[in-house]
Amino acid sequence: MMKDEKMTKCTIESNNLREIYEFNKVAKQANGSVLYKVNDTVILATVVMDDKAIEEEFLPLTVQYIEKAYAARKIPGGFIKRETKPGDFETLTSRIIDRSIRPLFPKGFYYPVQVTVLVLSADNETDLQVAALNAASAALYTSDLPVNQLVNAVRIGQRAGELTVNSPEDSSLDLFIAGTKEDLLMIEMKSNATMDMAQSQDAIVEPAMTTVAIQNNNAISEEVLLEGIERAQDAVTASCQKCEAVFEKVKKQSKEVELVEEKLDETIYAEIEARYAQRVKEALLQMAKSERSSGLKNIAKEIAADKEWDEELTYKVLSKYKKSVVREMILKERKRVDGRALEEVRPIEIETNLLPNVHGSCLFTRGQTQALVVSTLGGDKDAQMYELLTESDTQNENFMVHYNFPGFSVGEASRVGPPGRRELGHGNLAKRALESSLKTPETVRLVSEILESNGSSSMATVCGGTLALKATGLEMVDSIAGVAMGLVTEGDEYAVLTDIMGLEDADGDMDFKVAGSREGITALQMDIKLGGIDRAILKDALIQAKKARLHILDIMDAAEAQIELNEKVLPSVELFDIDPGAIASVIGKAGATIKKIIEKFDVSIDLDRDSGSVKVAGESKENVGGAKEYIQKLTKADTPPSFQEGQVYKGKVKRIVDFGAFIEIDGYEALLHISKVAKGRINDMHDYFTEGEEVEVVVLGQKGKKVELATKEFVS
């Protein structure tokens, strides 16, 4: 029961936010609910739990973040006028909330839980991801579920060299962090291409190395990142303490639930340890993932048959023993199951443009992880259109990264279906890593087909993505490489692992993906399975990740030098300028001229009326060149030569009209207005000029096509 059955309204001011939480007002049949307000944004977060636990030993947590169109005074577009399939932002936000609150549940809690977060009103100033997580956490913490910790989120930015909290505008850093008052649980980071070039950061290096100044517009130094994380922890701790103190009066008494204790059959464990320790170690040292798995299953089957034990239970106990062996090898022997040193990267093989009829491709193989990344260039019309809740106009996404993870990549016979949250999350991470290094304004689609997976296929996508982009001839600010780091800790002992494989991810304490250039980090994702992570350990992990990144970049640079472009299929693009005043001639009446050019040369044409810039793109280099030449010839007659202001020119009178005379100078006709002929009033231009005669005129000025003339008499 509630400690206070009346509706309770709480106001929390922290981290540049004024948050209002209202409890016991709406959705009172849920196990927990809150109406959350910040600025003009209103979010309803609810938590519901089934009374019956599942038989499998995992937490069936479902998180749904849903944006209602009416929240921004909109009616959904398309044929169906109601909210249907969630957009990418909704899916990614659901994933962020899930990853942040999942560690809060006690061990052995296997009851189905559904968290629903509805955006009911939205403004364009509120960070919806921060707001959604804070609302979901408040609903969960004050519910009658056995969750006794609160999680809060902050977004750290950097402007003009200064770190900011929940103020991301014009920021070179986008660091999203969720944590409790004691520990960080989840980190998402990306660098922004708008970084202030005047600022200088120090790169984090080993003590024996020289400190290097970073001035780069697409990467964040490790030192700045560490400062941002420390700032975030302070901010999260402060907000959690304030919220917990206020929420105590509305927190429900926890339900009586059965927590499944982790039972370990000591007899089976002792048998494995006494008689099968060497066999288990040999199975773990098998290089292939499939061989390792088969070896362990065979041992479990043999033990179960010999002792007449349940095979499933035996395998479960064996898996626990296997985990202890893996961790002990790492901590005591400083050795990994595949024989590598802790800082060693698996062997890397790279092949570029193996697909002859695509724009660019790269097959990137690292150990048993393999990604085939394919790049395709497009025009403006090929950009992905999408809508944001708080934006009135449709947005265009010109750089797309699509990640596919078919079952065969891990030896499973599963249906190939639409991308799930994992696929969208991994693709988004790779996009964040690469996008700030793209120089081109082109529309580009990267598709990563994971052909084999045993650890960090998202980072293989980053590495392969860089080379697939370069295999199309695109320029990048820097090459970007990615590596997944791991951590194993026991008491005061710890070991940081470079380039973890699946086994080390499952049996370790941290999954830490870092992508960046030689200069710094462009994207980072961390999920911490421990209660938290010490800053010194995090610093060691970043140093170790940088070493690995530089090693991988050396291999990528060697592969880049061997790239042979698929010239015959690469689209051609020509960028050139014409006089802005001549744009109308290119378009023609009702667009007739530009349609004729597009059809004749089979190209796409983009025009900028203000600057006069023209972009012609097409599959044929010859056709693109022909279209460019056609446009230039078309606009040449309408484009005047450059005249020098104040200079006297000889010209010929071509026509006389009531308001002046048209004078031809260097093949271009310019108007000499009647007001610029003589000092006094003129009634008839024929009194001054005769068609065909040569005259001297002065150029008063020129703006585009308009050239202003006067007679020598007028300016004297």
- Nearest Cα neighbor of 511 from 538, 550, 488, 484 is 484
- Report residue 660 CA to chain centroid gap: 61
Contact 12, 246 (CB under 8 A): yes
Task: Report phi then psi at 141, rounded to 5.
Answer: -65, -40
Sign of CA dihedral 515, 517, 521, 522: negative
What pLDDT is recorded for position 1?
40
Q: For residues 453 and 388, what is the distance between their CA atoms, to the nearest angstrom?
A: 34
Residue 106, SS3 per DSSP: coil
CA contacts within 13 A on the Cβ side of 30 = 24
Check residue 335 and give its pLDDT.
87
**Count of CB atoms situated within 10 Å of the CB of 36:** 22
Specify burial of residue 578 (Cβ count, 10 A radius: 0-12, 13-18, 19+): buried
Q: Report the SS3 class of residue 282.
A: helix
Q: Is residue 505 a contact partner of residue 486, using CB atoms and an 8 Å limit?
A: yes
Q: How many Å apart are CA 217 and CA 694, to the nearest integer?
A: 58
d(CA 284, CA 669) in angstroms, rounded, equals 85
Domain spanning 572-636: CATH 3.30.1370.10:
yes
CA distance 220 to 521: 5
C-alpha torsion 22→24→28→31, nearest 10: 80
String of DSSP letters for 269-298: HHHHHHHSHHHHHHHHT-SSHHHHHHHHHH
Distance of alpha carbon 456 from the chain centroid: 17
463 Cβ contact partners less than 8 Å away, ≥ 6 residues apart: 364, 366, 371, 480, 481, 482, 552, 556
CATH numeric code, 348-412+419-560: 3.30.230.70
Q: Looking up tokens 């793109």, which residue turns up?
A: 617
Q: For residue 184, which phi and psi values (nearest 5 degrees)?
A: -85, 140
| Residue 704: DSSP 8-state | T
d(CA 364, CA 467): 9
Amino acid at 38: V
Is-contact 669 660, C-beta < 8 A?
no
Say how far apart CA 466 and CA 480 lie, in whole Å. 6
Across the 716 residues of the chain, what is the mean pLDDT of every consecutive 10-residue run?
A: 67 93 95 96 98 91 96 87 90 95 93 97 94 97 95 92 83 91 90 48 34 51 92 94 93 91 82 86 72 79 85 86 88 88 95 95 96 91 83 85 91 85 93 89 90 92 97 92 92 90 84 93 86 79 95 97 91 81 84 92 86 84 88 72 85 88 84 86 83 90 81 84
Q: Is 357 left (phi over 0), alpha (psi -120 to 50) or beta?
A: alpha
**d(Cα 475, Cα 473) in Å, to the nearest integer?**
7
Domain 266-332 sits in CATH at 1.10.10
So what's the pLDDT on residue 403? Answer: 96
Give the model confidence (pLDDT) of 416-454 as tens digits. 888 888 999 999 999 999 998 988 767 899 999 999 998
Asked if the domains at 348-412+419-560 and 572-636 fall in one CATH topology, the answer is no
By CB atoms closer than 10 A (0-12, 13-18, 19+), residue 52 is exposed
CATH architecture of 8-247: 2-Layer Sandwich (3.30)
Task: Check residue 297 and give its pLDDT.
Answer: 84
Q: How many helices and strands (H and E) does the chain possess?
A: 15, 31
CA distance 405 to 652: 73
Strands (E), 517-629: 521-528, 572-577, 604-607, 613-618
- Cα distance between residue 261 and residue 293, in whole Å: 26
Q: What are the beta bridge partners of residue 23?
A: 8
**DSSP designation for 142:** T
Strands (E), 608-679: 613-618, 648-657, 660-665, 668-673
Tens of pLDDT, residue by residue over 607-652, are 888 778 888 888 887 888 899 988 888 877 555 677 888 889 999 9
Distance from C-alpha of 140 to C-alpha of 37, rounded to nearest angstrom: 17
Cα 428 from Cα 88, distance rounded (Å): 9
Superfamily of structural domain 648-715: Nucleic acid-binding proteins (2.40.50.140)
Token duo for residue 333: 């022997």
Spatial separation of the C-alpha atoms in residues 471 and 76, rounded to whole Å = 40
CA distance 566 to 583: 34
Domain residue ranges of the chain, discontinuous segments joined by +: 8-247, 266-332, 348-412+419-560, 572-636, 648-715
- Residue among 136, 92, 93, 90 nearest 113 (CA): 136
- In three-state secondary structure terms, 712 is helix
Quote the pTM value: 0.79
